[in-house]
Amino acid sequence: MDGLIQPGDTLLMDRAGARLTTEKRIGEGGQGVVHVARLNGAPFAVKWFRPGPGSEEMRTSITALIHRGRPPHPAFTWPIDLVSSGRIPGFGYVMPLLDPRFVSLAQLLNQDRQPSFRVITTIGRELVDAFAALHSAGLCYRDISFGNLRVDPAAGEAAIIDVDNIGIDSGTALVKGTGPFMAPELLRDEAHPSTVTDLHALAVLLFYLLMHGHPLFGVRADAACSWERGAHRSETELLMRNFGIEPVFIFDPGDPSNRPVPGDRALTWWPIYPEQCRRVFTRAFTAGLHDASLNGRVTEGTWRRVLLALQDSVYDCPACRADLFHDPEQAGQRCWNCSAPLPVPVTLKLAGSLLVLSAGAVLTSHHLNRDRDHRTACAVVEPDPRQAGRVVLRNRTDRSWTVVPDGEEAKRVAPGQRLGVRPMRIDFGPARGQIRAGEIHGLG
């Protein structure tokens, strides 16, 4: 194809002066193509741009990203260097090659068997942390959407691709976003892409991730899609009206005009989540639709707290084993799947968090040190091998804990040792906590 690189081409890195050899094509879009490339035997990826309007602006923008360096989060596949060809005009850039363990987020959500609640909330938090790092660097992504995100559900990791969309907060941009994710003020052409517009797109993405639907596509938007009596409107008109000019949240407590269409999966998922989570989404798609500011939109810090609380509240139904969220604000919870009344779970109360002690739960470094290290396990909850339906807490740190079970003498729990879960006070060293009794039986 004219203006595009082909397998076997040699490309020159601008700053490093090294040569890469292109291999198979692994992606193609409106802007250009992506190939695997080899540098001294090591695999990388090269994105090559089709010549055309905006090419020089894109070159300038990517050069600035290269000089600035990647924000302090590993999710971004950041450009390493510009590349050029002696055979064809134009340019591209070289970047790390994405590991094949990553799949598209849309593919993950379309699977018949959905990932566990712990996986979903971990992926959500990873994405929130990544965009928080980007925004803290004075940059915005401009095009948060399914097409630019990859995830590894097994590791709970995210990868953010197409970083050439990134630019200075509120600066002029060649890319403004993907329609259904765009903030109302962007659709109305009243603002440039910014952290504030990214926050709307992030809220839409998280709603899809947790609720499996679009927060603004309800019966009113669906009716506008009708072909009857000349009522059909173009996709652009639909986007502008329902997401730009007159957006209404499908669960808006004060405006029922745009409730979910019958059969919308959001109808099933919305009541499954705790009240705190639903409150934050309601704020994002009521006040956040009309107040395009950091005060009006839900920030990453708030989303991080919501997602951590969700992850810490997972347990399962004793009757049918369905994944559940414990909602401390809701008395008399019933299982969303089988309607059985639910026991109040055993919890570990720490400063700033409440961890449900169900099998598979992890007490992280962040729980004890508030250091945002969510991957280092300080303790794990395991089924009790001696008694079905009960759990133990295994010490995964290198220090002993001091525990005082109710009605018992103080004890030491050495590294690697298991602790039978029952009401007690625990001194972990950097933090102290208290295990509170729920109805312990049935918590496996």
Q: What is the structure's pLDDT at 440?
A: 39
Whole-prediction pTM: 0.93
Instruction: Please tell me the total number of residues recorded for the chain in this structure.
Output: 444
pLDDT in tens, 309-335: 999 999 999 999 999 999 999 989 999
pLDDT in tens, 333-380: 999 999 999 999 999 999 999 999 999 999 999 999 999 999 999 999
From residue 347, alpha-carbon distances to 39, 207, 352, 357 in Å are: 52, 27, 13, 5
Q: What is the structure's pLDDT at 2?
A: 59
The alpha carbon of 369 is separated from its chain's Cα centroid by a whole number of angstroms, namely 23
pLDDT in tens, 224-270: 665 444 454 677 888 898 999 999 999 999 999 999 999 999 999 99
The yes-or-no verdict on residue 443 having pLDDT over 50 is no
How far is 27 from 47, CA to CA, in rounded Å? Answer: 9
From residue 69, alpha-carbon distances to 133, 134, 164 in Å are: 12, 11, 13
Domains, the chain, in order of start with CATH, read 10-96 (3.30.200.20), 103-305 (1.10.510.10), 324-436 (2.60.200)
The yes-or-no verdict on residue 444 having pLDDT over 60 is no
pLDDT (mean) for 51-77? 91
What is the average pLDDT score of the chain?
A: 92
List for the chain the helix, strand, coil content (%; round to 5).
30, 25, 45
Q: Which residues of 40-61 are buried (b: 16+ CB within 10 A; e: fewer)?
A: eeeebbbbbbbeeeebeebbeb
The yes-or-no verdict on residue 111 having pLDDT over 90 is no
Q: pLDDT class for 59, splitting at 50, 70, 90?
A: very high
Most confident of 113-117, 124-128, 329-333: 124-128
Range name among 179-188, 279-288, 294-303, 431-440 with the lowest pLDDT average: 431-440
How far is 160 from 348, CA to CA, in rounded Å? Answer: 34
